[in-house]
Structure 1
Amino acid sequence: MKKTYGLVLAALCLGLAACSSGTGASKAAAGGGNGDGTPKTLRIGYQLIPNGDLVVKDRKWLEQALPHTKITWSRFDSGGDVNTAMIAGSLDIGLAGSSPVTKGLSAPLNITYKVPWIFDVIGENEALVAREATSVTALRGKKIATPFSSTSHYSLLAALRDAGLAESDVKIIDLEPQDVQAAWQRGDIDAAYVWTPVLGTLEKTGKVLITSKDLAAKGKVTADLAVVRTEFADRYPKALTTWLQQQDRAVELIRGDRDGAAAAVGRQLNLPPAEAARQIDQLILLDGEQQAGPEYLGTAAKPGAFAQTLHSTAQFLKAQNQLPSVPALSVFQQGLATKELGDAFPS
């Protein structure tokens, strides 16, 4: 953790080419703006998580709402990879879990981005699954896979600590979700903490020991967050407002037309609508009004309690030697894009 920021940045950027799949993130800058105050290009990093972001993508709402902007969707497998792309300047908006965002806002990364939206509060869609063990304590000496620097990694460490196990009591292996599934099928690992849709595959032959919903009840809340480059938010507020409003529209569709939303998410995940609906129900989704409330992001005048959630996450990560130091609470308060959220949903 004593590397200089420049060395960290260089190492992250070297790995950028291998961190995304699908269309791939462009390394070019956003390409300037249109005469109407919108960007010529909006580069979005998404993940295969059954929330409103996949509805927006499937329905092509952004393409319709920003007709003069080229929307580029790039698939990423973890929030750590999104952080890498943000540092390299190859994304404008991305999805990352609360644990990698906490790291992103902290030293040594200090990424110049902020959180304008909570895609979902993680529930039963992330869990610790074991092949034979019937309790977390029974995992002592076992191999457990999870994507490092992800919300699953954070939750795994919290689950081990809650069960009285140290990280050194098990062997934790860093694998992306698709690699977790392959390792499970080969019998190379004894357990895994991972999210859907891979979680659903593991559940067929394994036993769920604890979920992120269980951990949230114990104070270890995790969430999937949007991050927007600060430079982009400042330069193109109209585009960010439009993006926020489409995300809110997706939450309303999920609440009001479950079948239609499940069909959209199912197409993106290559799942039957019934299974997509089941996975959507494992998440807590918030509309714009809720997000601007005191329990979550809050307002520019009064940042919400979610800043404290990120601060608590940083404290936990520091205790696990995942961060060199814990930033002040104000760092996370300033990391919430409350003004932009208020502009999109004025009270």
Structure 2
Amino acid sequence: MMQLTRREALKAGANLGLATFAVSTAGVGPLFAQEKKAVLGHFASANQQNYAKATGSMQKAMGEGVTTEFIGVSSGPQILTAMAADAMDLCNMGSSPMLVGFAQDLPVSMVYVHKIVRDGEALVVRNGSGIEKLADLKGRKIGCPFNTSVHFAMMAALQLAGLSPSDVELVNLRADATLAAWQQEAIDAAYIWHPVLGSLIESGGSVIFTTGELSSEGVLIFDAIVCRNKFRDEHPELVLAYLKELARINEIYRNDPGLVADTMAPFLQIPRETALLVAETTHTITPQEMISAAWMGAPSATDSGVITALGKQMDFLVESGQMPRAISDLTKFIDSSFVSQLA
């Protein structure tokens, strides 16, 4: 019988282990493949992302072998920080913080028009405050979350009224802190979105201006779906699945807001009328509309409604000190290739 030294025996055992592993895994590679994961951000309201979470539809849309993780967010800067750290893949956000992220050259892209901001964001004033029009805001305290779509809208509204930011006292308040400041009478007005907007109205407030009124001045404000570039490049099929499901959910919001309210009220533990209000003020467009020159345009388009709107907003943000510099080429941040596949 052949005798092996201890060293030879260990070597033979190692080789046998490798051979056994190779045989046992032959033909079953997918079992050992790394599972795909999509980290999706969402705000705390009766929005489309929460609808997907409540119904489980996004997990189903992503398919088997994909883990879908939802992470709550409260601001655009929070989303950008997470994406820069590879901790979030897709999320909706306002065009203002998105532009700030572009200016910082963060590796993110706009891939979808999430919603058009009209009556879902508005300036509400305290009843009995003597504020009846924009010009009456002079010398008053106005709360709004900075570096957001409502911050930009507030600045644009002041400009329309012939006021400068120094004519009022703008108070940087998170959305979840605005109601408390209102109830404590620490602010005279607030520019905010639903559901906080509805709560302020119920607490003795009246709307005197909506973001949709800026469109007559050529100012278009929208929320976008922003995607982390590395995730987009490595898992384009998951980005497409996400946007396809979002387009389906948008149809429900447009055509059956009552169903949305019935689903979201118990899920978020909010009044049905609140959920219904959010659904009815969520204004979206189809992928077919989105791919037109009036919006995102075809892939690699150098001139589109979105680019024009972002350019105007960018100039305003730079002039008001909210952005450090202008972006020389916005087109590299706009990716309509997924929308073109859905149209």
TM range (shorter): 0.7 to 0.9
Partner of 1:336: 334
Q: Which amino acid is 2:86 matched to?
A: G
Partner of 2:211: 212
Cα distance in 1, alignment partners of residues 40 and 33 from structure 2: 18
Which moved further from structure 2: 270-279 or 152-161? 270-279
Cα distance in 2, alignment partners of residues 185 and 218 from structure 1: 33
Q: Displacement of 1:38 after TM fit?
A: 9.4
Q: Displacement of 1:103 after TM fit?
A: 1.1
Q: Displacement of 1:311 after TM fit?
A: 1.2
Q: Which amino acid is 2:159 matched to?
A: R
Q: Displacement of 1:48 after TM fit?
A: 2.9
Counterpart of 2:292 in 1: which secondary structure? coil
Which moved further from structure 2: 135-144 or 312-321? 135-144
Cα distance in 2, alignment partners of residues 311 and 101 from structure 1: 12
Cα distance in 1, alignment partners of residues 239 and 159 from structure 2: 39
Partner of 2:315: 315
Which moved further from structure 2: 264-273 or 142-151? 264-273
Cα distance in 2, alignment partners of residues 127 and 255 from structure 1: 21
**Structure 1 segment 235-246 matched on structure 2, within 5 A:** 235-246=234-245
Cα distance in 1, alignment partners of residues 247 and 52 from structure 2: 10
Q: Displacement of 1:266 after TM fit?
A: 3.1
Q: Which amino acid is 1:83 matched to?
A: L
Q: Deviations over 1:75-121 (max 9, x none)?
A: 11121221222222211111210111111111xx2111111111100
Runs (4+) off by over 4 Å: 34-39
Q: Deviations over 1:201-230 (max 9, x none)?
A: 111211212111112222222111110011
**Structure 1 segment 225-244 matched on structure 2, within 5 A:** 225-244=224-243
Q: Displacement of 1:260 after TM fit?
A: 1.8
Question: 1:116·1:227 contact (CA, 8 Å) conserved in 2?
Answer: yes
Q: Displacement of 1:160 after TM fit?
A: 0.9
Partner of 1:146: 144
1:74 aligns with one of 71, 84, 87:
71
Alpha-carbon spacing, 1:137–1:248, altered in 2? closer, same or farther (3 Å): same
Q: Computing the radius of gyration over CA atoms, which structure comes out larger, 1 or 2?
A: 2
1:113 aligns with one of 108, 111, 115:
108
Counterpart of 2:118 in 1: which secondary structure? coil
Cα distance in 2, alignment partners of residues 36 and 100 from structure 1: 40
Partner of 2:177: 179
The TM-score normalised by the length of structure 1 is: 0.83
Cα distance in 2, alignment partners of residues 221 and 268 from structure 1: 32
Q: Displacement of 1:253 after TM fit?
A: 2.0
1:327 aligns with 2:323: no
The TM-score normalised by the length of structure 2 is: 0.84
Cα distance in 2, alignment partners of residues 68 and 251 from structure 1: 26
Partner of 1:6: none
Cα distance in 2, alignment partners of residues 150 and 208 from structure 1: 19
Partner of 2:90: 93
Number of positions where the alignment pairs a residue of Structure 1 with one of Structure 2: 308
Q: Displacement of 1:177 after TM fit?
A: 0.6
Alpha-carbon spacing, 1:135–1:35, altered in 2? closer, same or farther (3 Å): farther
Question: 1:151·1:222 contact (CA, 8 Å) conserved in 2?
Answer: yes
Q: Displacement of 1:49 after TM fit?
A: 4.4
Q: Displacement of 1:37 after TM fit?
A: 10
Alpha-carbon spacing, 1:186–1:85, altered in 2? closer, same or farther (3 Å): same
Q: Which has the higher helix share?
A: 2
Partner of 1:58: 54
Partner of 2:135: 137
Question: 1:266·1:273 contact (CA, 8 Å) conserved in 2?
Answer: yes
For the aligned residue pairs, the C-alpha RMSD in angstroms reads: 2.0
Q: Give the percent of matched residue pairs that are identical in Structure 1 and Structure 2.
A: 26
Which moved further from structure 2: 51-60 or 89-98? 51-60
**Structure 1 segment 12-27 matched on structure 2, within 5 A:** none
Question: 2:134·2:157 contact (CA, 8 Å) conserved in 1?
Answer: yes
Q: Displacement of 1:341 after TM fit?
A: 2.2
Alpha-carbon spacing, 1:155–1:126, altered in 2? closer, same or farther (3 Å): same
Structure 2: runs of 5+ lacking an equivalent: 1-29
Partner of 2:122: 127
Question: 1:93·1:229 contact (CA, 8 Å) conserved in 2?
Answer: yes
Cα distance in 1, alignment partners of residues 114 and 196 from structure 2: 19
Q: Which amino acid is 2:250 matched to?
A: V
Partner of 1:305: 305
Q: Displacement of 1:50 after TM fit?
A: 4.0
Cα distance in 2, alignment partners of residues 334 and 37 from structure 1: 33
Question: 1:118·1:225 contact (CA, 8 Å) conserved in 2?
Answer: yes
Q: Deviations over 1:166-192 (max 9, x none)?
A: 111111111101111111011111111
Counterpart of 1:94 in 2: which secondary structure? strand
Cα distance in 2, alignment partners of residues 200 and 99 from structure 1: 23
Cα distance in 1, alignment partners of residues 100 and 273 from structure 2: 36
Question: 1:37·1:238 contact (CA, 8 Å) conserved in 2?
Answer: no
Question: 1:51·1:119 contact (CA, 8 Å) conserved in 2?
Answer: no
Counterpart of 2:330 in 1: which secondary structure? helix
Alpha-carbon spacing, 1:281–1:315, altered in 2? closer, same or farther (3 Å): same
